[in-house]
Structure 1
Amino acid sequence: MKKYTSYIALLFLVLLLAACGSEDEGELQESSSGEDSGEQETRVVEHEMGETKISGQPEKVVALEFSFVDNLASLGVSPVGIADDNDEERIIEPIREKIEDYTSVGTRKQPSLEVISSLEPDLIIADMQRHKDIYDQLSDIAPTIILPSLAADYDGIIDSFQTVSTAMGMEDKGEEVLADHKEKMEELRSQVPEDENRSVLPAVVADSGYFAHNMESYTGSLLESIGLKNAIQSGDDRYNKINLEQLVEFDPDVMFHMSSGDQTVVTEWENNDLYQDISAVENGEVHEVDRNMWSRFRGLISSEKILEDAVQYLYEGR
């Protein structure tokens, strides 16, 4: 009888320990699955229009400006939707190589809310200047952050990249990418002679006018970041439509033209003596550059490519 009682007690103890083990294992599995840590995975991202809560790592992202496509590509992320102005050729080659197929959501000025919604995104990244008026509508579709792009200088683009890294839950990756970018920037800066005193002027040239980018513009500030002084050091607007007489007055030593179309205002000016007297023209330092790269795209990858172009034009063969 005593043996039987001892056997029952031992069996009860074994069953109790097994139950406790199963409970502990269940708790461990629940914790590992993230059900108990959901709050920790939710972060609040500050942006131009306030704060947005984002949970986990977004998998389906829509980018409504090219700089944000650059940001995502730098992080190894392919957006599911891009406002590409209905022209996939506007995606520059270094970015195209890094992203997968995507759905066009229309133009950057007026993206299609219907197409964006159909993609069922879990994050939308939009531009302050272009999209602030539709922020509420975008937020009804998915968590949305509004950042400066069109009106940003180079430093502003860097800040936006860091915010995108946070929104994606990839801050560590972002820090690594940014450190690598800064190293490349230092390398490019080292190729500019300390005694470089030529003034440079990036400009979009179209049949509708000559749009000069001053020292506070994205491209202007980017060139200045490696020691290339912009010809326009003042002005209320970062992008100034100027006439031939004003261009003569600024008299840049180097001009980088982002041409829009074969026939531009410069086509007319080339037969004018005033234009021929500009230092950049006299010295053969007028360079045609890719407008998509130099003007439309703004980000770590495109910044490096722009400066590689500039250094090549200015110093190759010297």
Structure 2
Amino acid sequence: MQQLLRWLMMGCFIASALNAHAVTVQDQHGTFTIEKVPQRIVVLELSFADALAAVAVSPVGIADDNDPQRLLPEVRQQLQPWQSVGLRAQPSLEAISALHPDLIIADSSRHATIYAALQRIAPVLLLQSRNETYAENLQSAAIIGDVVGKNTEMQQRLALHQQRMHDAAAKLPPNTSVLFGTSRENQFTLHSSASYTGGVLMALGIQVPQSVNHTPMTVLSLEQLLAINPDWLLVAHYRDESIVKKWQQDPLWSLMKADQQQHIRSVDSNSWARARGLFAAEKIASDTVTLLTAP
């Protein structure tokens, strides 16, 4: 009987602690308040899964484009099995509802049109992801840490992240200019200093092209790429038939400094262009050190 009473008292203490959580943060919709620590979280962008993985919290559902490989291995290793809720661009409301979440973390860019529908399922924390900068991503991670009751753990993880980025920057050659872009069959897109990946590279002390037309990402022609003329060109090829591969057959290509110095490398599109977060930035940092310092 005494043991039963102890278990009941412990259960009441845990319930009281959960209900006393009551956190208020500012998200992209305004003021967001949650009264207790969420236990069943659904995230609709990869960066939100990254943030939860950073503090060892596993969501029950992820909009993973029906492909768990979309999450970086470093992120997957920190998570328990989850249920896919479909595409990031068009998640399934039915799949989300079936998981009975007590928190949904959604992207203010992709999911604004279904925000009201999501709210009918569970409280919705609306944050930037798709169009966020590196600095904004760190801010979002801190907000997520608060909301899931892991403020201290997240602050510690952010400090570790900053140290890892500092250590990576110390290994890179100074005053190096790098242009990163994604290459599809018919277009090459520059990720400027205003983009997420550009911000990560700048945090490593790398010179990154400024935004063109005040946009984070801009489609470039071969002539515009040659005009920038970076020390290094890093390309994420989305398909085998890539416009950069066609450009490399053009006589003008050999005029580029990166080609003359054999400083052109392919990088993984998933970790460099699709993923965002602490683990993603650290993967970019690790790749950059490897690529730029290899003999």
Same fold (TM over 0.5): yes
Q: How does 1:162-201 map to 2 (within 5 A)?
A: 162-193=142-173, 196-201=174-179
Q: Shift of the alpha carbon at 1:316?
A: 2.5
Q: Which has the larger radius of gyration?
A: 1
Of residues 99, 117, 124, the one that matches 2:97 is 117
Of residues 25, 32, 38, the one that matches 1:52 is 32
Matched position secondary structure for 1:212: strand
Q: TM-score normalized by structure 1?
A: 0.86
Q: Shift of the alpha carbon at 1:249?
A: 1.0
1:223 and 1:33, CA in 2 relative to 1: closer, same or farther beyond 3 A? same
Q: How does 1:224-303 map to 2 (within 5 A)?
A: 224-232=202-210, 234-303=212-281
State how far apart, in whole Å, the 1-side matches of 2:125 and 2:30 are.
8
State how far apart, in whole Å, the 1-side matches of 2:108 and 2:142 are.
16
Contact 2:38 2:103 in 1 (8 A): yes
> Which stretches in structure 1 are left out of the alignment for 5+ residues?
1-24
Q: Shift of the alpha carbon at 1:67?
A: 0.5
Q: How does 1:27-106 map to 2 (within 5 A)?
A: 29=9, 33=13, 40-106=20-86
Give the aligned partner of residue 215 of structure 1.
Answer: 193
Letter in 1 for 2:23: R
Contact 2:55 2:145 in 1 (8 A): yes
Q: Shift of the alpha carbon at 1:280?
A: 1.1
Q: Shift of the alpha carbon at 1:295?
A: 1.0
Question: Over the residues paired in the alignment, what is the CA RMSD in angstroms?
Answer: 2.1
Question: Does 34-43 or 107-116 show the bigger shift?
Answer: 34-43
Contact 1:31 1:37 in 2 (8 A): no
Q: Deviations over 1:241-263 (max 9, x none)?
A: 11111111111111111111111
Of residues 82, 87, 94, the one that matches 1:107 is 87
> How many equivalent pairs are there?
290
1:170 and 1:244, CA in 2 relative to 1: closer, same or farther beyond 3 A? same
Q: Shift of the alpha carbon at 1:307?
A: 0.6
State how far apart, in whole Å, the 2-side matches of 1:186 and 1:149 are.
24
Q: Shift of the alpha carbon at 1:311?
A: 0.9
Identity of aligned residues (%): 34
> Which stretches in structure 2 are left out of the alignment for 5+ residues?
none
Contact 2:197 2:272 in 1 (8 A): yes
